[in-house]
Chain A
């Protein structure tokens, strides 16, 4: 514990998914760190779906893990099931998704936090920051020197990371009932919004929501479709947790179909479908939905719409799929995925009971919508440091995002950069061609977010390079450089690369003679037989062919499955990977053209007014970022190009 009068390197406000990663990253990088939460009993809480991963989000978790974050490992410790999604699609969109035990996830994360050297975890509500005026780039700005708690205590620090989630002036809506809350059952965070606004920050309001939970004992599971976990080992972490770290319980027998003797104890999820009666119940009560009565004025996430929103927007669909997901091994509470709603409690129940499997169901808690303050993200730099306040970092929902994974990834980067800042080092920023994290943060700093931002695979231009299977190769060396990823992890990646190199070299010369064995293998993948000795590389290009099969046929010992997977992807998809690499190279020029911090867009007359305002407001750091701003046309980019070149030529070398 640090004495009270000592100055922390990093204070993290909020112990949600973002705050936990920020605090762990900073402490692991050697910064003295304090993590403050309003409630020590709800660390790493999962107020919505206790699931982690999915397309793009699963990629984020892998990247967090590769850099040295905790989310992947904590999910691995506590999941009730894990699956691989999109196996029928391409390697770029395949993703892992796990259902966590909601309580165990928080317990496991708290355990990690408490045992982290250099990290203090304490309960306090932060109501304001310590601000000192400074002048930077000829502009009056602030430096943040610490936080002030609700009880009036002043804690000094070199930097502060704010990860307040939905708590800033949170307000809950259920039908016509509304009350202030951080999330159901918890206090909102008051004072901090006002303090930020007072120091020049612009704030906005966003909305998100959660579905009702129902009692498993009142579900007729025989009328549901069962969705079991994966029957072979899967893990988010590239460095899987040991058996001694697992936190699992025996699944309650109320849930049919649990896998008790597989590679790991797993529980299934169950799917059901809405019907005309469900939709009728919603439609006839739309006048009581705060989304439509105007009580909620803010925008919700378009890609995670409420059920009433879906019924209105997709009026021609007569059925929507819902998933019933146990919230833990031993709780009877079941999450109804796909049924986010803020309809009145009685309508929620009627809607649920219209589904045969839930005809007699009881709600344990109703769904609700929550509105909260956020800081529109043009106010942060790509390092997540506030543009107008040195030492202040913002991460997670406060930046307008939605989702645990999006929050955790930002928390990780904010923690890394706060720690680097304390050391006086340059921040770590990832490019769009390096990581989904880079895509997300670039989007945040170049797009005006007016609805909760969720990451999608389609947001990444270079998907084929940013696969979930190669996150370690892409990012662990960077994690090692900043002192976050352990030496062991960095070394493992080095060994993996070397093994890949050797396997590729082997493919340069290896030839496979025709044999009955080869014939059988080719037959098994529906590939035409070969009568001549063939280069192993050519055979590997055939769909379904595996590297280790070819090695066995030539009497060479197999390589690790992770190594084989990388080599197979590189050989099979080489031309496509090359094409994406060319695109990256082309884009690099634009990305490389940096725009000086003090560049005055307002003086460039060739720009259209809309573009000039947008540029002045968003302050892109590179020409590439400028080109991605909505409302900036190619012609505007050309104008900028010309002016930047001129500015460069005019500047003394």
Chain B
């Protein structure tokens, strides 16, 4: 991740592949001079700040024509990185963008490492750490809701909230430290009830920031939904029905594995990875033991399990075995009574007995009936109702949630110290801890490891 801020970096900033345009981004002290070696304006004049200029890309070595292009010069500090930035828009084909990049690099730029533009924006103080992470999230956002959450964070809403809480901690600490240094004559001690009140305020503010974090994290990571059931209960039809009702089939979420059949879809804007665990038969067959293991693993990783039953035939021993697997996984689940169009052979009470805590939805996947209510049941079950109603939570990143929770714990310890009538000294320890945790979110207390971890997750060109 380490980059020398004194050189000029360049990278292809758009996805590779046939496209109308592709953009090469160049940032650094020599961005303009370098680009001028690889670009001739049609007017023959130097590009003006913040004005798109038409011209052509040439090979910086032999001057041969590469492509027609538009370059936009953004003089620092009013740019993404706060350095001089030039964006070259040329044709989007693989060959076009690659030769454009090669030419810029031959002219003196260095190939940027993943996340290096954003790292520079962070290091120049234009954005803080939480905002930098939001950039990565926005780039990868699979659904519109995920994008909204990332944008909220990018606008600095979380950072603002965290900073406010941090300032409250600092104010309170300053008061307590003065009390520690001086005699009661000089600085009257903060009355304990007032101290208690201020600490509760801080704890409350942190609490409110964490609210909705699990839904936010769901937006960022996507919901893992496992579909289980014995063969021929209609799992595949159910999956197809879910896919078909929402045409917004999305790109793959990062980190998903393919050892079981996985499909990505958007459920009212919530990104969902559906894991279809093929059929689970009886567990007596040794050859299928591995299949069961895999299903168990899929169950263990799932945020929600759909247990699909064929309503048109009586419950079988294998149905009960699968239900036991679900029960043992202790994951939240819904029972889907499929083939609802045929005469029911399964009493509702019998089904409910299989998974006592699970809701029951009736569907006919082949005819796409009941799919809408299944969708609502899923949204309801994962507590994402507020999300689909448009309430975007402040926190959508596990790292931020953990830091906030640790900060809250520190403040709780301070409150305990107040309750135990311990001197200010002990109260201040928790507040110091909270300050550090909050600083981890915005980067005020970032460590080298943390920076490394965060910026290494970026794609090149951002």
Contact = CB atoms under 8 A, between A and B. Distances in A.
A and B assemble together: yes
Interface of A: 55-56, 88-90, 92-93, 321, 456-458, 461, 463-464, 543, 573, 575-576, 579-580, 582-583, 586, 589-590, 593, 603-606, 608, 633-635, 638-639, 641-643, 645-646, 649
Given A92-B425, A638-B122, A639-B123, A579 B430 contact: yes
Interface in B105-130: 119-120, 122-125
A461 B124 contact: no
Contacts of A456: 181
A638 B455 CA distance: 12
Interface in B428-462: 429-430, 432-433, 436, 439, 443-448, 451
Contact of B423 (A90, A604, A634): A90
A605 B4 CA distance: 9
Contacts of A93: 180, 423, 425
Contact of A641 (B185, B439, B448): B448
A579 B433 contact: yes
Contacts of B318: none
B433 A646 contact: no
A458 B178 contact: yes
B5 A604 contact: yes
A576 B426 contact: yes
B125 A635 contact: yes
Contact of A649 (B2, B177, B430, B444): B2
Contact of B417 (A576, A580, A589): A576
A251 to B, nearest CB: 26
Contacts of A642: 1-3, 5, 119, 123, 451
B125 A90 contact: no
A458 B123 contact: no
Contacts of A633: 125
B5 A638 contact: no
Interface string B170-199: 000000011011000100000000000000
B181 A55 contact: yes
B338 interface: no
A634 B445 contact: yes
B327 interface: no
Contacts of B125: 608, 633, 635
B123 A461 contact: no
A368 to B, nearest CB: 24
Contacts of A635: 122-125, 443
B6 interface: yes
B3 A575 contact: no
B436 A583 contact: yes
B76 to A, nearest CB: 11
Contacts of A457: 180-181
Contacts of B421: 543
A373 B426 CA distance: 40
Nearest to A587: B436
Contact of B443 (A573, A582, A634): A634
Contacts of A605: 5-6, 29
9 contacts: A90-B424, A606-B123, A608-B125, A634-B439, A635-B123, A642-B1, A642-B2, A643-B5, A646-B4
B422 interface: yes
B281 interface: no
B368 interface: no
Contacts of A583: 432-433, 436
B413 interface: yes
Given A604-B5, A635-B124, A645 B448 contact: yes
Contact of B429 (A56, A88, A576): A576
Nearest to B416: A575
Given A573-B426, A642-B2, A645-B2, A458 B177 contact: yes
B180 A641 contact: no
B445 A463 contact: no
B414 to A, nearest CB: 10
Closest 4 CB pairs of A and B: A90-B423, A606-B5, A90-B425, A458-B177
B159 to A, nearest CB: 12
Contact of B422 (A90, A461, A604): A90
Contact of B6 (A579, A603, A638): A603
Contacts of B29: 605
B2 to A, nearest CB: 4
Nearest to A607: B5
Contacts of A589: 447-448
A425 B451 CA distance: 37
B122 A90 contact: no
Nearest to A589: B447
A436 B185 CA distance: 25
A155 to B, nearest CB: 43
B151 to A, nearest CB: 23
Given A543-B420, A633-B125, A642-B5, 8 more contacts: A55-B181, A89-B423, A89-B424, A93-B180, A579-B429, A590-B447, A645-B2, A645-B448
A90 B178 CA distance: 14
A545 to B, nearest CB: 14
Of B4, B422, B443, chain A has the most CB atoms within 10 Å of the CB of B4
Contacts of B1: 642
